[in-house]
Amino acid sequence: WRLGTAIQYPYVGMGTNLNDNGVYDISEYDGVSFRFKGNRAYQFMLRMPTDGTVNGWASYRVQFSSSAEWVEKIFLWKDFSLPSWSPNKEEDYPLDLTQINTINFQPAEGTSAGTEGEIWIDDIYLIKLSVSQPSLPTTTYFTLKVTIQPESAGVVNPSSGTFLAGSTITLLAEAFENYRFVKWQGDVDSTENPLNLLMNSNKDIVAVFEVISSTEISKSTQIKEKYLLSIDGNSVNDVITFEDDVESLEIFNVKGKLIKKISFPKSFDGRDLTSGLYYYKIKLKTKEVKTGIIIITK
């Protein structure tokens, strides 16, 4: 091709009418793709008719650079705009994809009159974008419901709630005066307290307490400030015994680290501990707390 000089805006173009009977609706498509090679910069143009007041048409275009080798070009309709020299303005004639009658290729804006060049075009397609929305990760939660039995026997923390699937929660049962905790039942069967519970499904738990008899209540543990345990097998000073009024026993090392906790202990012999000095904390069912030391010799 060679740009002429006979008109004010010299150009040469190649293209086709999409519909000889008028206009063509390409609004169901998102853009155009084609293969191209050429030694100049070019523009791909969409022509639509106007109301005839100025030139009778408006040409939206997108420009692209030269390529000595075959390349694939893909342009979306949003990439197209009216050239600066167009007598029609976008605010007056926005691109209407239901009213396209011609597509063509021309040298890019600014190409001088008399310029020569070549363009090769193949495989022109109107394209649709397939946009797949990424699936959002599904977060699963399970519910907890705890029933106290008898109702006024104590409390459990937490007693209800919604928790992330796979998480582990800790249930702690505390008995009111004259009651003691017995066990967990329902969706779990355990006497551990506190209880670590894996939330892998909805959980319906019953915390079972029982009344402490008047005979048991009258019995109370005589707690010393200092205990000496000699683990030598002669049955002398080798065990600490407790009545039912003791709710928990905690043993700490000399650095204050908790190393053992026993709920509702009946006895303690320290056989699994090394010789040395330890501190204890005893919590009674009356909520009174006693502290002291334990010396273990072996």
Q: What is the DSSP string of 183-223?
A: EEEES--B--SSEEEE-SS-EEEEEEEEEPPHHHHH-----
Do 30 and 120 fall into the same domain? yes
Separation in Å, CA 260 to CA 10, 187, 270, 278, 282: 96, 28, 10, 11, 12
Please give the C-alpha separations between residue 58 and each of 10, 25, 84, in angstroms, as whole numbers. 17, 16, 12
Peptide bond into 158 cis (omega under 30): yes
| pLDDT for residue 3 | 54
- Asked if 207 and 224 sit in the same domain, the reply is no
Per-residue pLDDT at 119: 84
The reply to whether 26 and 111 lie within a common domain is: yes
Question: What pLDDT, on a 0 to 100 scale, did the predictor assign at position 55?
Answer: 60
Rounded to whole angstroms, the Cα distance separating 284 from 69 reads 90
**How far apart are the C-alpha atoms of 61 and 100, rounded to whole Å?**
13
Residue 6 lies in a domain: no
Looking at the structure, tell me whether residues 118 and 21 fall in a common domain: yes
Low-confidence ranges of the chain (pLDDT < 70): 1-21, 51-55, 113-114, 130-137, 214-219, 233-236
Cis bond upstream, residue 83 (ω within 30): no
Question: Model's pTM, two decimal places?
Answer: 0.41
Classify residue 2: in a domain, yes or no: no
CATH number at residue 260: 2.60.40
CA distance 182 to 196: 16
User: Kindly report the CA angle at 144 between 143 and 150, in degrees rounded to 5?
Assistant: 150
Q: Clarify whether residues 173 and 119 are in a common domain.
A: no
Instruction: Give yes or no: residues 157 and 100 share one domain.
Output: no
Same domain flag for 123 and 20: yes
Checking phi first, is residue 235 left (phi over 0); if not, alpha (psi -120 to 50) or beta?
left
What's the pLDDT score for residue 118?
A: 82
Residue 231: give the domain boundaries.
220-297
Residues 52 and 100 in one domain: yes
Whether 35 maps to a domain, the answer reads yes
Residue 231 domain-assigned?
A: yes
Count of domains for the chain:
3
Beta carbons within 8 Å of 233's beta carbon, 6+ residues apart: none
Q: For 116, which DSSP code?
A: B
What is the pLDDT, as a whole number, of residue 184? 96
Do 123 and 18 have their domain in common? yes
Residues 229 and 268 occupy one common structural domain: yes
How far lies 81's CA from each of 33, 85, 122, 221, 286, in Å?
A: 17, 12, 23, 93, 84
Residues paired with 271 in a beta bridge: none
226 with 191, same domain: the answer is: no
CATH number for 92: 2.60.120.430
Structure tokens at 298: 């072996």
Within-domain flag for 250? yes
Of 211, 243, 272, which one is at a domain's C-terminal end?
A: 211
β-strand partners of 92: none
Domain boundary among 127, 158, 173: 127
Query: Does 136 map to a domain?
Result: no
CB within 8 Å of 260: residues ≥ 6 apart:
249, 250, 251, 273
As a whole number of angstroms, the distance between CA 270 and CA 59 comes to 94
Question: How far apart are alpha carbons 278 and 226 in whole angstroms?
Answer: 10
Q: Is residue 120 part of a domain?
A: yes
**Domain edge (last residue) among 103, 127, 151:** 127
Residue 1 lies in a domain: no
Same domain, 197 and 241: no
Q: What is the pLDDT of residues 169-183, one digit of tens each?
A: 999 998 887 888 999
